[in-house]
Amino acid sequence: MEGIDSQIEILITEDGSSSLRRKDLQEGYHSTHGAIAESNHIFINAGLKNIERKPQINILEIGFGTGLNALLTCEFAKKEKQNIFYQTIEKYPLPKEITSKLNYGKILNMEEEFEMLHSINWEENNNLNTYFEMRKTAQAAEEISYKENFFDLIYFDAFAPQFEEKLWQKEVFDKLFLSMKDNACLVTYCCKGDVKRTLKSSGFQIEKLPGPKGKREILRAKKLASGIKHFLLLLILFFPMLAFSQKNIVENSQAVKETKNKTKVSKFHHTIGFNLTPIMLGGYKSFELQVLGDGDNFRRVKFGGLHYLNFLPYYQLDYNKKIYLTTYYRYNHVGFGDYAQMCNINFSYNFHKKESKTTVLLGAGAMYYKTNSKGGIAPVLYFSYNQKISEHFGAGLTMDIFYNPHFFANLSYTF
């Protein structure tokens, strides 16, 4: 925009940090209650600190403006020794005469970085410190084609919808959605009904969070990993086992035909099962009864709710109905920014009679787990009680002791 500097006025906000105001739009760059306080609240605390730590975090910012969000992110990268790649988009770049009057560098004790932030060339990758690499793009954000499946976090910090109508459209959010990795988040100060609906229609799961001083609410929108993806992963995992069992059945049935009385039946049996939770694949509504014993929150019973996704299929291979190998996979999403993936392998022994309809298993194994904040391998103690309902079907209860115990009711099919 021509002559943008004549339209800008500088002001000091309540926390002592400076900000700008567009006179022609009557629109501020930040809240008058505190520019640094607001950016920290919305983008750093609700955004950056909420996502999973990984070797590199890729961030996209829509609306570079004063560079405050970039500077706070650079500060985080330096303090936390976290590699960050930061791409920022600005439709109306500010001239140096204005950015040099901003006091963020001084307040945050990052004068050198703040100076660099504004002096580096546009359309070039540059490092502000060892951990923070950035690229500035001077273009309208709605006109850009973004790299797909790349960003972990988006700061959506452009002017409000009434001033930049084209930017808050579904087509733009669709593009941003595609540019994000699974479980990536978009954070914005704008909590308008229209914006929430548009984000939802683009596939985001949205969450309202308390706003900074002077603002009731802010928005965090998440791109959830699709249930279908997990289902396919499970199919891949289970396919070899199913193929093996199929071969077994064919061999056994031929043997039955040939030897009549002396049927040679395999000592291996296969069981596949699911917990009793009704699951809607590809959606996020599900029912689960979960009892957790983790101190303060000993009991949590949750029925329905939009933010709950739980898969718990399991596979069991037993030898002679005595020695069991059980493996299960679990993806659990509880609200925003809180998910867990687990993969168990347990060996157990059946304490009940071999030919009985009841199976009592006690075993131990290992669990690979991953949540947004941590991951690793943990030991597991495992207890399971199963009762045959018919020749193939069974039902039972499983208690899985990890750092907190989980109880599951399950249905199974043995072949």
Contact 30, 39 (CB under 8 A): yes
The residue among 36 and 312 lying less far from ligand SAM, judged by its C-beta, is: 36
Strand pairing of 217-222 and 405-414? Answer: unpaired
The residue among 167 and 367 lying less far from ligand SAM, judged by its C-beta, is: 167
b/e string for 248-271 if b means 16 or more Cβ within 10 A? Answer: beeeeeeeeeeeeeeeeeeeebbb
Q: How far is the CB of 118 from ligand SAM (least distance, A)?
A: 11
Q: What residues contact 231, with CB distance under 8 A and at least 6 apart? A: 281, 311
Q: How far is the CB of 165 from ligand SAM (least distance, A)?
A: 10
The residue among 41 and 91 lying less far from ligand SAM, judged by its C-beta, is: 91
Q: How far is the CB of 166 from ligand SAM (least distance, A)?
A: 7
Q: Which residues pair with 9 in a beta bridge?
A: 21
Contacts of 395-401 with CB under 8 Å at 24 or more apart are 396/359, 400/344
Q: How far is the CB of 37 from ligand SAM (least distance, A)?
A: 12
The residue among 31 and 410 lying less far from ligand SAM, judged by its C-beta, is: 31
Q: How far is the CB of 74 from ligand SAM (least distance, A)?
A: 13
Q: Where are the alpha helices (DSSP H) in 282-410?
A: none
Reported as half-sphere exposure (CB side, CA atoms, 13 A), residue 113 has a value of: 27
The residue among 13 and 398 lying less far from ligand SAM, judged by its C-beta, is: 13
Which amino acid is it at 239? F
Q: How far is the CB of 4 from ligand SAM (least distance, A)?
A: 8
Query: Using CB under 6 A as the criterion, which residues of the chain lie in contact with ligand SAM when the complex forms?
Result: 29, 39, 62-66, 68-69, 89-92, 140-142, 157-159, 164, 167
Q: How far is the CB of 29 from ligand SAM (least distance, A)?
A: 4
The residue among 86 and 315 lying less far from ligand SAM, judged by its C-beta, is: 86
Say if residue 204 is exposed, middle or buried (CB neighbours under 10 Å; 0-12, 13-18, 19+): buried
The residue among 21 and 352 lying less far from ligand SAM, judged by its C-beta, is: 21
Q: What residues contact 36, with CB distance under 8 A and at least 6 apart? A: 15, 17, 68, 72, 104, 107, 108
How far does CA 22 lie from the centroid of its chain?
36
Q: How far is the CB of 201 from ligand SAM (least distance, A)?
A: 20
The residue among 69 and 398 lying less far from ligand SAM, judged by its C-beta, is: 69
Q: How far is the CB of 296 from ligand SAM (least distance, A)?
A: 38
- Whole-angstrom Cα distance, residue 371 to residue 376? 9
Q: What's the first-to-final CA gap in the chain, in angstroms?
A: 71
Which amino acid is it at 313? P
Q: How far is the CB of 100 from ligand SAM (least distance, A)?
A: 15
Contacts of 264-267 with CB under 8 Å at 24 or more apart are 267/319, 267/320
Secondary structure (DSSP) of 386-409: EEESSSSEEEEEEEEESSSEEEEE
